Amino acid sequence: MTRNKHSEEFKSIEDEYFSTKDSTKVIRVLPKRSPDGCAVVLLQFGKWDPDELEFMDFKRMIATCYVQMMRDPMTQINGIRAIFDYEGTSFRHFRYGTPQNLYMYYNMGFNCIPGRYRSTHFINHSVLLKPVWAFIKQFISAKMRSRIHFHSNIEDLLEYFPRSVLPAEYGGDLTDLSSKDWVRRANREQASNSIGGQPNVY
């Protein structure tokens, strides 16, 4: 129902944006899975410039990546672990955290995209995130709240991920994170391969 009512939220963005806008680097699917087979996605919200990439296109890009990740049978079975990095964010980012937008993201993530969200890790968060979290958590089940972790320092991630999975900037071993091509390909595929009816082989 939500996808029919808000179908524009699930459309791909202009392909040329990946060559002209640095904001498309905000989301990356890391090249290695966690030991339990989960896909690991990194979102660096500070890399999004609202003046460069409109909020609607930002939402579309994030939704597209999550939908396309679910085409992989390994991800369908094992799930997703996400790292949300808020370094570099400010009020110009959080002003989009209206109750309407927050509920839309909750509904999209849990009701429109059939993903298994195994854990979500928040790092470099500011006091601006507290009222946002206070609003969102009232809609999330106790089970899902137990899978959400707020970290006071980056090193805490090593308690949940091996170094081989994490980028070097987070204390890991990964130095080649050129997943921009993956995100661009996922964006292209979104037009013809939505969440239902497409081959699983990506």
Q: What percentage of the chain reaches a pLDDT higher than 70?
A: 90
Whole-model pTM: value is 0.87
d(CA 153, CA 125): 10
**Residues 149-199: tens digit of each pLDDT:** 999 899 999 999 999 999 999 999 998 776 668 888 888 888 776 655 455
Q: Report how far apart, in Å, the C-alpha atoms of 34 and of each of 70, 158, 183 are.
A: 16, 12, 19
d(CA 133, CA 35): 28
pLDDT grade for 8, boundaries at 50, 70 and 90: confident
Strand partners, 41: 29, 82
**Residues 21-66: tens digit of each pLDDT:** 999 999 999 999 999 999 999 999 999 999 999 999 999 999 899 9
User: CB–CB of 54/24 below 8 Å?
Assistant: no
109 burial type by CB count under 10 A (0-12 exposed, 13-18 middle, 19+ buried): middle
pLDDT at 2: 57
pLDDT at 123: 94
d(CA 39, CA 68): 12
pLDDT at 196: 52
**Residues 72-119: tens digit of each pLDDT:** 999 999 999 999 999 999 888 888 878 788 777 777 777 777 789 999
pLDDT at 202: 46
pLDDT at 179: 66
Positive or negative, the CA dihedral 29, 38, 133, 195 is positive
d(CA 19, CA 29): 18
